[in-house]
């Protein structure tokens, strides 16, 4: 064997070892890329599921806001009607003019009555607030949703008469 053939064999061996090293590094990088791709696909799936949940939440929120809007519109209309009902006796009284022009009607005679004197408390004053059986929401319902056929407002329990 000649020196040229031996050097060519050694050179081919070195090149083969270098190619194997590059192939091993490339294989490690491809494994990492596949793992990253799998993680990315999982993240995209999670993002898609979160987007679907968000869309469902938005649809539920939209439905709730539409229901609240309808309920609020009904309460506003009821409040306007009650406001007009409350303003009517005051405007009638201002149109009457002098007290001798006309006798007060039965509906607005409560406007002319003096206030009842406030009685002193006989029970000792408590430091903690008293709780009532009626909730604030029930009082609001009484104010904004009058009974059908009721011409006058009902008194709020616990209020001054």
pLDDT value of position 13: 96
pLDDT value of position 31: 94
Select from 64, 65, 86 the least CA-distant residue to 144. Answer: 86
| Residues sharing a CB contact under 8 Å with residue 143, sequence separation 6 or more, in sequence order | 82, 153, 156
pLDDT beneath 70, residues of the chain: 92-161
pLDDT value of position 79: 93
CA atoms within 13 A on the CB side of 50: 6
Q: Residue 132 in contact with residue 157, Cβ under 8 Å?
A: yes
**Which structure tokens are listed for 104?**
């007060």
pLDDT value of position 15: 97
Select from 135, 146, 137, 142 the least CA-distant residue to 156. Answer: 142
pLDDT value of position 90: 73
**Alpha carbon distance 43, 14 (integer Å):** 43
Q: Residue 79 in contact with residue 144, Cβ under 8 Å?
A: yes
Q: Residue 87 in contact with residue 80, Cβ under 8 Å?
A: no
């Amino acid at each position: 064997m000649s020196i040229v053939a031996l050097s060519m064999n050694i050179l081919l061996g070195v090149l083969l070892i270098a190619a194997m090293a590059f192939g091993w590094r490339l294989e490690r990088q491809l494994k990492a890329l596949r793992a990253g791709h799998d993680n990315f696909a999982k993240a995209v799936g999670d993002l898609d599921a979160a987007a679907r949940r968000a869309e469902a939440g938005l649809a539920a929120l939209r439905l709730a806001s539409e229901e609240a809007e309808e309920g609020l519109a009904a309460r506003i209309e009821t409040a306007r009607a009650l406001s007009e009902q409350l303003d009517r006796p005051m405007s009638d009284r201002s149109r009457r003019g002098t007290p001798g022009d006309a006798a007060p009607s039965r509906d607005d005679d409560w406007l002319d009555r003096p206030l009842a004197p406030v009685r002193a408390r006989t029970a000792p004053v408590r430091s903690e607030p008293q709780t009532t059986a009626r909730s604030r929401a029930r009082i609001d319902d009484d104010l904004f949703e009058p009974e059908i056929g009721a011409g006058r407002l009902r008194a709020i329990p616990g209020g001054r008469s």
